[in-house]
């Protein structure tokens, strides 16, 4: 019996040693590097292509790369990446020759957009990969990045290295996070006018990547065949707001109780365009409104989602601040209307309130902005709160927002 126990102990120690050595190897080796095979492409930067590219980039690139301080695609910390995967920073993709992508060839950019592999072989697991995007759309994004648009002008912002956790490195090593294959055949989008459902599928799975967030988990998603992802479109994936609080993604299958099966086409269009659900609840960050999409494009997505198998999957409550913990009426309202989701509890988040008191020196000006932001700054992801925020709440809320602006400005002053 003693020999059995002794041999068992040796086996257990051996297994533990192998596991420890494997973990050490993964930790030191990091995310795998890959051979690059950039294609030969030369993009003709026409005004039409640049406009189309900016339209696509506003939905695909800006969320991660647009720095709220520089107003350029100079990169930033990606606060909505789950902490279990590490700390990630998006790259500077302005036209700067050394700190941006100014020296990259069109082929290198196309390869990165398709596969997630940089020209030096580094793989970027947190990047949106576009293997099925229409060929002309890929060229349009590159044209935009080469254009004279203000958002891509050279920026001196230094790139910061991401710090994936051991778990993220392990997932990358076993292939859960891996590059997409560069397509070997031409990629052509369906025709919206004649193939509504197919075009909706193209937008939902190949362009916007709705299933990436609205399925069960990033770790069980299938980028090559999104419809094979666990819990496809049924939500539950634990996303993060700018404060690091968990926000489970909603179910967008046709299930009538837990999904959007009871929504009309117009309900869906209004939700994506305005940022408010039919129940008048604001969508939570990282989800943002898609004012860029045309009604017929959203209608196509809706038509496709109606063909997705309905899955009964109740959404778990998001982590939110306790209203009772608010130290003022203004802070309570800031929590009540979910302002913290995008602006952070300190006023510095995806939407930066640092200069709120300077931009809106009176409550009346700020109130007018909140009611209809478009009249002040043009098209914006900011929601139009007219008819949602109660009139008697504006005074205290505006006071608190302007107070946050002052405090955050003082904190960031050298």
Asked if 318 and 248 touch (Cβ cutoff 8 Å), the reply is yes
In whole angstroms, give the CA distance from residue 51 to residue 68: 22
Q: What long-range pairs does 174-181 form, CB within 8 A, spacing at least 24?
A: 176/219, 176/220, 177/31, 177/125, 178/123, 179/34, 179/115, 179/116, 179/117, 179/123, 179/129, 180/114, 180/115, 180/116, 180/129, 180/130, 180/131, 180/223, 180/224, 181/115, 181/131, 181/224
Element (H, E) at 246: strand 246-248
Q: Which two tokens stand for residue 74?
A: 């100079």
Q: Which two tokens stand for residue 44?
A: 């003709």
pLDDT digits (tens, 9 = 90+) for 50-64: 999 999 998 889 888
In order of their start, the domains of the chain are 47-173 (1.10.760), 196-305 (1.10.760), 323-412 (1.10.760)
pTM confidence score: 0.81
Backbone angles phi, psi at 89, to 5 degrees: -125, 135
Helical ranges in 360-393 per DSSP H: 363-371, 374-377
pLDDT of residue 218: 85
Which DSSP string do the residues of 20-48 spell out, in sequence order? HHHHHHHHHH-SPP-------------HH
In whole angstroms, give the CA distance from residue 358 to residue 195: 50
Whether the CA torsion 355, 358, 364, 365 is positive or negative: it is negative
Q: What is the mean pLDDT of the chain?
A: 87
Percent of the chain with pLDDT over 70: 89
pLDDT digits (tens, 9 = 90+) for 308-331: 999 999 999 998 999 999 999 999
In whole angstroms, give the CA distance from residue 222 to residue 205: 11
Longest dimension (CA), the chain: 84
User: Is it the case that residue 180 has pLDDT exceeding 80?
Assistant: yes
**Is residue 312 left, alpha or beta, with left meaning phi > 0 and alpha meaning psi from -120 to 50?**
beta
DSSP code for 205 = I
pLDDT of residue 24: 52
DSSP code for 117 = B
Q: Which residue has the tokens 């504006």?
A: 394
User: Is it the case that residue 356 has pLDDT exceeding 90?
Assistant: no
In whole angstroms, give the CA distance from residue 385 to residue 275: 10
Q: Which residue has the tokens 């505006």?
A: 398
Q: How many CB atoms lie within 10 A of CB 342?
A: 22
**Angle at which helices 47-60 and 135-146 cross, to 10°:** 100
pLDDT digits (tens, 9 = 90+) for 100-121: 999 999 999 999 999 999 999 9
Nearest to 128 by CA among 215, 209, 229: 209
Q: Which two tokens stand for residue 174?
A: 């076993």
């Amino acid at each position: 019996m003693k020999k059995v126990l002794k041999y068992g102990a040796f086996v257990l120690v051996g297994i533990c040693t192998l596991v420890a050595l494997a973990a050490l190897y993964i930790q030191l080796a990091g995310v795998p590097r890959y051979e690059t095979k950039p294609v030969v492409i030369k993009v003709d930067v026409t005004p039409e292509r640049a406009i189309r590219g900016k339209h696509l980039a506003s939905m695909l690139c800006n969320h991660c790369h647009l720095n709220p301080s520089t107003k350029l695609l100079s990169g930033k910390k990606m606060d909505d990446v789950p902490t279990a995967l590490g700390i990630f920073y998006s790259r500077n993709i302005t036209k700067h020759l050394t700190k941006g992508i100014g020296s990259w060839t069109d082929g290198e950019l196309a390869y990165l957009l398709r596969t997630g592999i940089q020209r030096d072989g580094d793989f970027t697991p947190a990047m949106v990969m576009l293997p099925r995007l229409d060929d002309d759309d890929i060229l349009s994004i590159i044209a935009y990045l080469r254009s004279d648009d203000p958002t891509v002008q050279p920026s001196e912002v230094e790139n910061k290295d991401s710090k994936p956790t051991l778990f993220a490195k392990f997932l990358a090593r076993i292939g859960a996070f891996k590059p997409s294959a560069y397509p070997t055949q031409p990629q052509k989008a369906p025709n919206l006018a004649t193939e509504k459902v197919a075009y909706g599928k193209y937008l939902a799975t190949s362009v916007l990547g709705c299933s990436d967030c609205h399925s069960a988990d990033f770790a069980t998603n299938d980028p090559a065949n999104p419809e094979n992802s666990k819990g496809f479109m049924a939500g539950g994936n634990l996303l993060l707001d700018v404060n690091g609080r968990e926000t489970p993604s909603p179910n967008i299958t046709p299930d009538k109780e837990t999904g959007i099966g009871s929504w009309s086409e117009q309900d869906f269009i209004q939700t994506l365009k305005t940022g408010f659900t039919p129940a008048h609840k604001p969508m939570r960050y990282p989800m943002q409104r898609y004012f860029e999409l045309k009604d017929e494009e959203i209608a196509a997505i809706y038509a496709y989602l109606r063909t997705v198998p309905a899955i009964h999957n109740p959404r778990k409550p998001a982590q939110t601040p306790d209203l009772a913990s608010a130290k003022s009426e203004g802070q309570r309202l800031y929590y009540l209307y979910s302002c913290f989701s995008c602006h952070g509890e300190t006023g510095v988040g995806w939407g930066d309130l640092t200069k709120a008191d300077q931009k809106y020196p009176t409550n009346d000006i700020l109130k007018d902005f909140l009611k209809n932001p478009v009249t002040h700054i043009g098209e914006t992801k900011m929601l139009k709160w007219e008819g949602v925020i109660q009139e008697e709440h504006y005074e205290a809320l505006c006071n608190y927002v302007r107070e946050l602006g002052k405090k955050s400005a003082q904190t960031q002053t050298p």
